[in-house]
Each structure stands twice: as structure tokens, then as C-alpha cells.
């Protein structure tokens, strides 16, 4: 006899729910006439059927509309929450009520049959069709709710479970995990190996997860662990530390006869009864994961409300800066640089200021993060260059060098040199030698190879390059040799104590000797008094800038000061 089986190749398990013994037996006889191999359970009430459904998986449930004092619709209403898998449900009734039929279908019934018209072939056809439909629904459900590669839950299913935890006010924690150094695996060995590594990591997560925890893959190399019944950082830490150790275990690649090793950065957000929805909690864990990456990777960081407030303030500041550029809230002040022996103005440094609409007049130290951010740092940097060169063109000084600070994000941004070249060409008769870009020693050394290439390209345009705050970083002589510099600027921290601290004086003397050896122009920052000026001259540093010479000032005042200083010292 040909036996019809499900895709999983097992005997069909059926549950008949009817309070009439005769009707249940009638359905049994109909099924016995078919070629279907079945295993049949019977229940005479909603309560009995709930017990069966809670403890067994069925391929199809046949439910009578009338179940004593209850309705089969009551069972339909609960059956989807009782059974984890998709199950076909057929309702049978002695009533030909279209409204009842429509309600049954709405509650999840696959078909609706009338008892007085029921025949064996009709019942078999309904069961077969309903099971196939349930299998298709399950496939579609799995495609939407499970990751095809790892078999872990996908984002929708994760959020569904997390939202239920929120509604029930249960204790839980969301651990957002991102693999470190995964991209080189794909790049070096191909995506098939990358997939193998992802599956291996997923299996390791399964090894340590508890029965009720939810594991999800929600992105390329991003995983989430929903840890149930966890209410403190301490409860999470031990588990997650073991997980990191397991992830760090090298993975054998037999095809390449080698091992690869990845690590994980984990951000954790505890679920608290503060009214937050699942999306917000997941986003908190995600943002905290990025903090873990920024703090060195391969570690665990827990969500901190105060840090969130700082991040919110940071984002607000970045948005305000973008608006500020459009609204012309930024302006440049200029501080002169002089030859302290000949009392000649040799240049001016352009310094940015922000007329913030609510915070008032801000100095760069007040919005450092804005200047260093890859987005706003480039936007503001471009504006500073344009404005500084526009002002220089107004002054029409052919011997006045204008210095502009270039943030790391700006210097190393895409097409920096090309954009700078276009800007220079847009200003009639401008000599590129009169523009000096200042880069920080501490930053440029962090990406020396790229920095060297950019600086060399700038020099080919005729631009001069200064190393700012020299002495505060970790420059080596080889590093100075690689960078085609024109100027060293001694950091003000060494100048401040030059009169009283022999060590600072010795450091400045060494920098003077170094600048002579490399043939660099040398400028001292922070010249605050006549005594400082004279001490620097005695050591051999002849150029400087600072409050003793002049404070930074607006362009109009700078114009007046240049005239005043030139006239004052022309008589000598």
C-alpha cells in the first residue's frame, strides 16, 4: 500500500477534538479507508486537547465547532500559542454558518467542513491540502524568522521574543556581538570560508547558550544573545567571558592547512521596566558594542545611561555644527607670527571660532569632537581653507604666510589633495608657498604611511607643511626624515616654564638644534612675556607667537594690527 508521509518522512500524527464519541469514531473509520499511515489521538474537550497539544507535535488537528460548553473557536484562538511548530487545523461542524466559517479561517483554520456532507475522500483531501499549506507557511515563516546560513533566529524573531519579555516585565539581557577581524578572513580566503567561520561561531554560541536563551544572527558578522532571567551585570559577565574565550579559540581551515582566529566585541543592555520597547533596547546594545570596539575590541561593555547622554549630546553637537556651517555661525580669528629679532610679521595662523546660538562664543577646545569627526571635521576644514584663502586674498600681502590647522579626518579624507588643488587654482594669482597647513604630531604618526603620502602630494602643489605641538608626540628621527616638513612648532607646554625649569629649557634647545639639522623653520607657541621672548632668542628660537605678541583677533582687527605693528617697528 502506498503511504503518504510528510516531508520529514514520519507517520502523520493527527488529533481529533470532538465531544461526541460517535463522531470521533466516524472520522477514524474514514481515515482507515485511506492510504495514509496515521497515528491518531483523541480529545473530548478543550481542556484535554490543550494537554495533548502542550506535550505533542501534530501534523493536523481536526476540531469540532461544538465542544460541550465551549466552542472550537476557543481552541483555535489558543492553538498557535500552544504549539511552536506550524500545524494544520481543520474545523468540522453540523452548522452551515458562513460567519462561523469566516471566523474559523481568521483564527487559523486551514479548512472548514460540514459533518453531514463529510466523506472519506473529502476529509483526506482536506487533510493533505492543509498539511501542505502548513508546511509552506512554516517554510515562509522560517525564511522570515531564521537565518538561512546558521539556523539562528533572525532580527524579526529576536525582536518578537524581546518584546514579549518587555510586555511580561521579565528579567533579561541583550548581548550584541560583533566579530573582530572577520573581514580579512573573507578577503584572504573567500566567502565560503567566511561562511564556514560564521557557522562555527554560531555553533559555539549554541554550546554555551541555555535552553531558554535566544540566539540570533542579524547581520554579516553580527550576533545577538537574548539571555533570559538575567538581572545584573554580574550574572552576565561570567557567561560572556566564557563565550569570548570560546570565540577566541582558533578555527582550523583544513583546505588551507592553517588556522584563523577572530575575537568579539560585545555590548550588553539589561532589560529594565522603564517602558522601553524592543527596538530601543537592541539599539542600546548595538551602540554599546561600538564602544567596546573603540576601546580596543575583544571585550565586553555594559550600557551606561550617562554614556548614552554623552553620546546624545555629541550627536546634537555634530548636528548643530552642520547647521552652523549653513547659517554662517563659524568665523576665523587670526594670530600673528613674528620674527622676534627683526620684529617682522612672517605669518598669521587662522583659528576657528563658533558663535553657537545657545552656548555662546566657543573655542576649538569646546568642540574638539566636532573638528575630529570624519563628517563635520571635513566640512568645517573645507570651509576654513576657503575662508582663510579668501581673507588672504583681501590682504594682498605677498610675503605673509597663512597657516591653517588641518584635522586628521580632513587630512586623510578622500581626495583631500585634489580638492585643495582646485581651491588654490580658484584664487587668482595666489602663490601656494604662502599657504602652510599644520598637522598634529600625535595624530599623523598614528597613520604615518597615509600621512606621508598626503603631505608629499601637498608639497608638490607648493604648499608648506608645519608639524604642530612638536614635542608632545612620539616622533622619531626616521619619522621626521620621511615627512617633507617646512616648519616645526614648539608646543606651548615647553615654553611656559622655560624661565624656571632647566629641563624644559634643555628640551627647547634640543628642538632648536634639531630644526637646524633638518633645516626647518622654527616657531615657538605660547610666548607670554618679554622674558619668554628673550629666553627663546638666547636659545636660538627666533620666531614665535603668543599673547605677548598679540591675541587672536577677527580679520578686521588683524588688518589694523598689521598696519600698527609694521609702522611701530619701521622707525627702528
List pLDDT tens digits, range 98-120.
777 777 777 777 787 887 777 88
Residues 6+ away with beta carbon under 8 Å from 483: 444, 451, 452, 455, 465, 467
Q: What percent of the chain has pLDDT over 70?
A: 92
Q: Which of 366, 451, 457 is nearest to 467 (CA)?
A: 451
pLDDT level of residue 19 (50, 70, 90 thresholds)? confident
Average pLDDT for residues 67-79, to the nearest whole number? 70
pLDDT, tens digit (0-9, with 9 covering 90-100), for 366-380: 999 999 999 999 999
Rounded to whole angstroms, how far apart are CA atoms 158 and 129? Answer: 31
Cβ contact 430:463 at 8 Å = no
CB–CB of 488/467 below 8 Å?
yes
Alpha helices in 33-182 (DSSP H): 46-55, 72-82, 98-106, 120-145, 155-168
Second CATH level (architecture) for the domain 155-303: 2-Layer Sandwich (3.30)
Q: What is the pLDDT of residues 408-462, one digit of tens each?
A: 889 999 899 999 999 999 988 899 999 999 998 765 555 677 888 899 999 999 9
Indicate the domain borders of the chain: 12-145, 155-303, 325-570
Tens-place pLDDT, residues 352-364: 999 999 999 999 9
Q: What is the mean pLDDT of residues 264-283?
A: 91
The pLDDT of residue 1 is 31
Model confidence at 85: pLDDT above 60: no
pLDDT tens digits along 151-161: 999 999 999 99
Q: What is the model's pLDDT at position 442?
A: 64
Tell which wins on pLDDT, 295 or 556: 556
Return the axis-axis angle of helices 120-145 and 155-168, rounded to nearest 10°: 90
Q: 20-34, 71-85, 522-536: which has the minimum mean pLDDT?
A: 71-85
> How high is the pLDDT of residue 282?
95
CATH topology of domain 12-145: Rossmann fold (3.40.50)
Q: Mapping DSSP to helix (H, G, I), strand (E, B) and coil, where does residue 327 land?
A: coil
Query: Is residue 560 scored above 70 in pLDDT?
Result: yes
Is residue 189 within 8 Å of 284, Cβ to Cβ? no
pLDDT-derived band of residue 480, with 50, 70 and 90 as boundaries? Answer: confident
Neighbour tally for 530: CB within 10 Å: 9
CATH for 325-570, options being 3.40.30.10, 3.40.50.10860, 3.20.20.450, 3.40.50.300: 3.20.20.450
CB 222 within 8 A of CB 265: no
- CB atoms under 10 Å from CB of 344, counted, come to 13
Query: Residue 65 pLDDT more than 70?
Result: yes
Write down the pLDDT at residue 267. 95
Amino acid at each position: 500500500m502506498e503511504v503518504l508521509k510528510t516531508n520529514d518522512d514520519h507517520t502523520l500524527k493527527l488529533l481529533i477534538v470532538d465531544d461526541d464519541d460517535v463522531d470521533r469514531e466516524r472520522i477514524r473509520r474514514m481515515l482507515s479507508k485511506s492510504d495514509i499511515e496515521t497515528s491518531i489521538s483523541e480529545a473530548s474537550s478543550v481542556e484535554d486537547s490543550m494537554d495533548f497539544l502542550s506535550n505533542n507535535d501534530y501534523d493536523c488537528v481536526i476540531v469540532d465547532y461544538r465542544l460541550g460548553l465551549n466552542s472550537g473557536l476557543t481552541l483555535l484562538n489558543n492553538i498557535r500559542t500552544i504549539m511552536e511548530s506550524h500545524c494544520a487545523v481543520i474545523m468540522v461542524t453540523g452548522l452551515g454558518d458562513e460567519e462561523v466559517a469566516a471566523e474559523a479561517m481568521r483564527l487559523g483554520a486551514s479548512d472548514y467542513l460540514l459533518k453531514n456532507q463529510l466523506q472519506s475522500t473529502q476529509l483526506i483531501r482536506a487533510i493533505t491540502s492543509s498539511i501542505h499549506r502548513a508546511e509552506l507557511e512554516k517554510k515562509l515563516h522560517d525564511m522570515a524568522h531564521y537565518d538561512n546560513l546558521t539556523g539562528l533566529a533572525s532580527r524579526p524573531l529576536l525582536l518578537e521574543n524581546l518584546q514579549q519579555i518587555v510586555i511580561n516585565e521579565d528579567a533579561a539581557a541583550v548581548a550584541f556581538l560583533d566579530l573582530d577581524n572577520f573581514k580579512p578572513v573573507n578577503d584572504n580566503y573567500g566567502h565560503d570560508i567566511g561562511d564556514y567561520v560564521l557557522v562555527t561561531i554560531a555553533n559555539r554560541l549554541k554550546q554555551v547558550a541555555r535552553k531558554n536563551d535566544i540566539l540570533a544572527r542579524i547581520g554579516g558578522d553580527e550576533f545577538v544573545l537574548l539571555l533570559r532571567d538575567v538581572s545584573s551585570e554580574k550574572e552576565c559577565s561570567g557567561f560572556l567571558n566564557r563565550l569570548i574565550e570560546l570565540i577566541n579559540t582558533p578555527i582550523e581551515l583544513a583546505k588551507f592547512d592553517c588556522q584563523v582566529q577572530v575575537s568579539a566585541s560585545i555590548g550588553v543592555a539589561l532589560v529594565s521596566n522603564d517602558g522601553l520597547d524592543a527596538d530601543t533596547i537592541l539599539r542600546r546594545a548595538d551602540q554599546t558594542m561600538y564602544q567596546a570596539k573603540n576601546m580596543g575590541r575583544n571585550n565586553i561593555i555594559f550600557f551606561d545611561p550617562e554614556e548614552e547622554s554623552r553620546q546624545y549630546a555629541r550627536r546634537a553637537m555634530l548636528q548643530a555644527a552642520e547647521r552652523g556651517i549653513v547659517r554662517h555661525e563659524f568665523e576665523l580669528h587670526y594670530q600673528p607670527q613674528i620674527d622676534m629679532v627683526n620684529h617682522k610679521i612672517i605669518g598669521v595662523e587662522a583659528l576657528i571660532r563658533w558663535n553657537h546660538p545657545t552656548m555662546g562664543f566657543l573655542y576649538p577646545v569646546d568642540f574638539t569632537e566636532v573638528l575630529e569627526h570624519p563628517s563635520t571635521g571635513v566640512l568645517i576644514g573645507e570651509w576654513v581653507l576657503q575662508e582663510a584663502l579668501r581673507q588672504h586674498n583681501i590682504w594682498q600681502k605677498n610675503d605673509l604666510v597663512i597657516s591653517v590647522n588641518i584635522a586628521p579626518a580632513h587630512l586623510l579624507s578622500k581626495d583631500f589633495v585634489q580638492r585643495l588643488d582646485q581651491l588654490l587654482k580658484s584664487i587668482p594669482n595666489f602663490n601656494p608657498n604662502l599657504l602652510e597647513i599644520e598637522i598634529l604630531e600625535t595624530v599623523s604618526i598614528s597613520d604615518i604611511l597615509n600621512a606621508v603620502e598626503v603631505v608629499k602630494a601637498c608639497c608638490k602643489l607648493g604648499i608648506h607643511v608645519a608639524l604642530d605641538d612638536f614635542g608632545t608626540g612620539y616622533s622619531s628621527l626616521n619619522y621626521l626624515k620621511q615627512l617633507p616638513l617646512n616648519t616645526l612648532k614648539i608646543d606651548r607646554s615647553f615654553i611656559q616654564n622655560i624661565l624656571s625649569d632647566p629641563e624644559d629649557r634643555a628640551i627647547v634647545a634640543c628642538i632648536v638644534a634639531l630644526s637646524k639639522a633638518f633645516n626647518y623653520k622654527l616657531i615657538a607657541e605660547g610666548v607670554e612675556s618679554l622674558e619668554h621672548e628673550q629666553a627663546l632668542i638666547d636659545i636660538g628660537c627666533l620666531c614665535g607667537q603668543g599673547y605677548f605678541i598679540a591675541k587672536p583677533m577677527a580679520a578686521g582687527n588683524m588688518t589694523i594690527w598689521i598696519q600698527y605693528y609694521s609702522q611701530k617697528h619701521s622707525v627702528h
